């Protein structure tokens, strides 16, 4: 057994952690070899982050043991883990934007002499690290906020390198990267691996896992459901391990018949993006919009909703039962009145007023229904909210609860309830399933299906291909601001969609 432990870079055995009544981790084992890229896979809430917090010393496990290179490892604080060579690279970039590359790389690792910085020594180490990563073109004196996101990620990796990391944990590192930057990052990961550094790569993009990882471990509800070599395991099997059910149960289908067009875009151009987009959305239809980050999907949706100016082209809106109007440069206020509703991709920053109550959030865009002469009728507001809480099965203590106490999935349902409360017929949903657990995702898929069957038109923006394939009637693919192609879902394959999205010929 001890031989076994010593042969691995990291050995986590029987790790358990309980938060109150919920068991976040139960007897989790994780073994990572030296110079191995190990993918840690699982839905949100499966326990990946908790496990990594245990590794990084931010959370103390209830029981279980850890060894690094055969030496027992029990960090009490993040500093301890860093000292033992565990470096974390988080989903959100954790750089100080005003500081230079050099200052960021050495942050917290400064060498000082009587309190004064030894700038020359530090610069040498930073330059050496950048060279090892094959990017001596990045100048240590440049401020980090002037760099592209890809280059910023590189700075984070350089930081790990300078801190002499033996294990680098990357938590969804590509979630904010373009394809090119992802390629750069993978190149870096391979370089780190070749230097004998072990990498724990957290992701739920299985395509990426297949591209970069050697082995994988799947977590579900705090339990390891499978581990093995990526090359020997088919993707379908990994998904089943993740989800714990068959794929057909994920995407319940409600029969529906698309009707007449309600939203038509002709040659729509915004500032920079979108570029010359033609599109027609019919009632009773779910139209998916796929694209890489930066392809202009959100920009398109925001232009339609009037949050960005229209530079050229027309937007025609024909809500059911009303005559069509060409109204290209409208404001969100007019769009709301025309029956268009938008769900923002950033639920926390823009989509919801987190400190306000569920009732306030649901009724915010149409307070007129629950007020008279500008005076709110709180009872009516509560009742209206309660009605949506029941309809959408929002799990909350009541309409008065503040939204930030809800889980991500329930927050998203509140945001959707607002669109329904304002009785929108055209729903622009920008990443409605981002950051919510799988159960809530299935509920939202079902809800979208029901809404479409009831005659609403839904534009569904997502960067998660399987859900688009499962839910939509038609899928459009955007690339560099243009709508590159639009087909019925039956006439697409995942590979074709990806090649179209990266700008190749499908």
Partner 1 sequence: MTTMLPVHETASLGDRSRIRRLLNMVGPLLALIGIVLGFGLVYQLQAGLDAHAYAVEKAQRQEKLGLPVEPVHDKWHYICNQKNRFLTVDTFRATANQTVTVGIAAMGMTMIIIGGGIDLSVGSVIALASVATAWCLKSGWTPLSAAGAGVLVGSVCGLLNALMITRLKVVPFIATLGMWGIARGLAKGIASEQKIDAPAGWLGDSVLVRHPDPAWLLVSPGVWTMLLLAVAVWALLRYTALGRYIFAIGSNEATARLCGIRVERVKLYLYSIAGLTTGLAGVMQFCRLTVGDPTTAMGTELDVIAAVVIGGGSLAGGEGSVFGSLVGALIMAFLRTGCTQVGVPTWIQEMIIGAVIVLAVALDHVRRRSTAG
141 scored as a contact of partner 1 (CB under 8 A): yes
Candidate segments 146-154, 197-205, 301-309, 323-331, binder of partner 1 by CB under 8 A: 146-154
Candidate segments 137-145, 240-248, 250-258, 340-348, binder of partner 1 by CB under 8 A: 137-145
189 scored as a contact of partner 1 (CB under 8 A): no
CB of 150 to partner 1, least distance (A): 6
- Name which of 78 and 320 has its Cβ closer to partner 1: 78
Site for partner 1 in 148-187 (CB under 8 A): 148, 150-151, 154, 180-181, 183-184, 186-187
374 scored as a contact of partner 1 (CB under 8 A): no
Binding mask 90-119 vs partner 1 (x if CB under 8 A, - otherwise)?
x---xxxxxx---x---xxxx-x--xxx-x
CB of 189 to partner 1, least distance (A): 12
82 scored as a contact of partner 1 (CB under 8 A): yes
Q: What strands lie across the sheet with 482-488, from one edge to the other? A: 340-343, 426-430, 457-461, 286-290, 474-479, 482-488
Q: Would you tell me how many other CB atoms lie within 10 Å of the CB of residue 127?
A: 17
Helix (H) or strand (E) holding 289: strand 286-290
Q: How far apart are CA 327 and CA 214, in angstroms?
A: 53
Helix (H) or strand (E) holding 501: helix 494-501
Q: How far apart are CA 53 and CA 164, in angstroms?
A: 20
List the structure tokens of 202. Answer: 């957290």
- Name which of 79 and 260 has its Cβ closer to partner 1: 79
Using DSSP, state whether 398 is helix, strand or coil.
Answer: coil
Q: Write down the residue that tokens 């009605």 correspond to.
A: 387
- Name which of 107 and 402 has its Cβ closer to partner 1: 107
CB of 449 to partner 1, least distance (A): 39
Q: How far apart are CA 384 and CA 363, in angstroms?
A: 8
206 scored as a contact of partner 1 (CB under 8 A): no
79 scored as a contact of partner 1 (CB under 8 A): yes
Strand partners, 460: 288, 429
- Name which of 103 and 430 has its Cβ closer to partner 1: 103
From residue 262, give the alpha-carbon distance in Å to each of 58, 121, 230, 284, 315. Answer: 51, 65, 45, 10, 10
CB of 458 to partner 1, least distance (A): 36
CB of 84 to partner 1, least distance (A): 13
Q: 223: exposed, middle or buried (C-beta count within 10 Å: 0-12, 13-18, 19+)?
A: middle
From residue 271, give the alpha-carbon distance in Å to each of 300, 303, 481. Answer: 10, 9, 10
CB of 106 to partner 1, least distance (A): 8
Candidate segments 89-97, 198-206, 293-301, 334-342, binder of partner 1 by CB under 8 A: 89-97
Helix (H) or strand (E) holding 482: strand 482-488
- Name which of 147 and 265 has its Cβ closer to partner 1: 147
Please count the residues of this chain forming the interface with partner 1, following the rule CB under 8 A.
Answer: 41
267 scored as a contact of partner 1 (CB under 8 A): no
From residue 117, give the alpha-carbon distance in Å to each of 142, 241, 363. Answer: 18, 50, 55
Enumerate binding residues for partner 1 (CB under 8 A).
78-79, 82, 88, 90, 94-99, 103, 107-110, 112, 115-117, 119, 134-135, 137-139, 141-143, 146-148, 150-151, 154, 180-181, 183-184, 186-187
């Amino acid at each position: 057994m001890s031989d076994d432990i010593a042969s691995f870079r990291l050995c986590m055995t029987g790790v358990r952690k309980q938060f109150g009544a919920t068991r976040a981790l139960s007897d989790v084992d994780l073994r990572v070899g030296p110079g191995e890229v190990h993918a840690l896979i699982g839905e949100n809430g499966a326990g990946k982050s908790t496990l990594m917090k245990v590794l990084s010393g931010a959370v103390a496990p209830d029981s279980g043991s850890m060894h690094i290179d055969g030496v027992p490892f029990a960090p009490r604080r993040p500093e301890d883990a860093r000292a033992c060579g565990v470096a974390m690279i988080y989903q959100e970039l954790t750089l100080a934007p005003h500081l230079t590359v050099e200052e960021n790389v050495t942050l917290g690792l400064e060498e000082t002499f009587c309190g004064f910085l030894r700038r020359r020594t530090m610069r040498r180490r930073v330059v050496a690290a950048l060279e090892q990563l094959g990017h001596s073109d990045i100048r240590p004196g440049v401020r980090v906020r002037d760099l592209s996101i890809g280059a910023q990620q590189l700075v984070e990796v350089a930081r790990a390198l300078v801190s002499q990391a033996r294990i680098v944990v990357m938590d969804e590192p590509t979630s904010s990267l373009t394809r090119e930057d992802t390629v750069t990052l993978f190149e870096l990961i391979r370089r780190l691996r070749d230097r004998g550094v072990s990498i724990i790569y957290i992701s739920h993009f299985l395509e990426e896992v297949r591209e970069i990882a050697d082995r994988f471990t799947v977590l579900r509800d705090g339990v390891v459901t499978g581990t093995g070599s990526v090359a020997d395991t088919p993707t379908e099997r990994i998904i089943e391990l993740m989800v714990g059910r068959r794929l057909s149960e994920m995407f319940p289908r409600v029969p529906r018949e698309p009707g007449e067009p309600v939203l038509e875009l002709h040659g729509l151009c915004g500032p920079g993006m979108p570029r010359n987009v033609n599109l027609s959305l019919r009632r009773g239809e779910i139209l998916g919009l796929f694209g890489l980050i930066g392809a202009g999907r959100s920009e398109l949706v925001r232009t339609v909703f009037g949050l960005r100016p229209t530079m050229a082209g027309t937007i025609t809106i024909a809500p059911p039962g009303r005559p069509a109007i060409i109204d290209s440069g409208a404001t969100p206020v007019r769009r709301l009145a025309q029956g268009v509703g938008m769900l923002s991709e950033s639920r926390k920053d823009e989509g919801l007023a987190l400190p306000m109550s569920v009732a306030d959030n649901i009724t915010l865009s149409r307070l007129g229904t629950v007020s008279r002469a500008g005076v709110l009728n709180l009872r009516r507001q509560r009742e209206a909210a309660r009605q949506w809480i029941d309809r959408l099965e929002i799990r909350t203590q009541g309409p008065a609860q503040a939204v930030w106490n809800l889980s991500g999935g329930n927050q998203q349902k509140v945001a959707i309830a607002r669109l329904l409360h304002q009785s929108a017929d055209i729903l622009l949903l920008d990443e409605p399933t981002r950051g919510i657990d799988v159960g809530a995702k299935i509920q939202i898929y079902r809800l979208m299906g029901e809404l479409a069957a009831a005659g609403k038109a839904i534009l569904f923006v997502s960067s998660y291909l399987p859900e688009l394939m499962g839910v939509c009637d038609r899928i459009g693919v955007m690339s560099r601001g243009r709508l590159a192609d639009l087909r019925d879902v039956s006439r697409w394959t995942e590979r074709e969609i990806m090649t179209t999205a990266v700008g190749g010929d499908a």
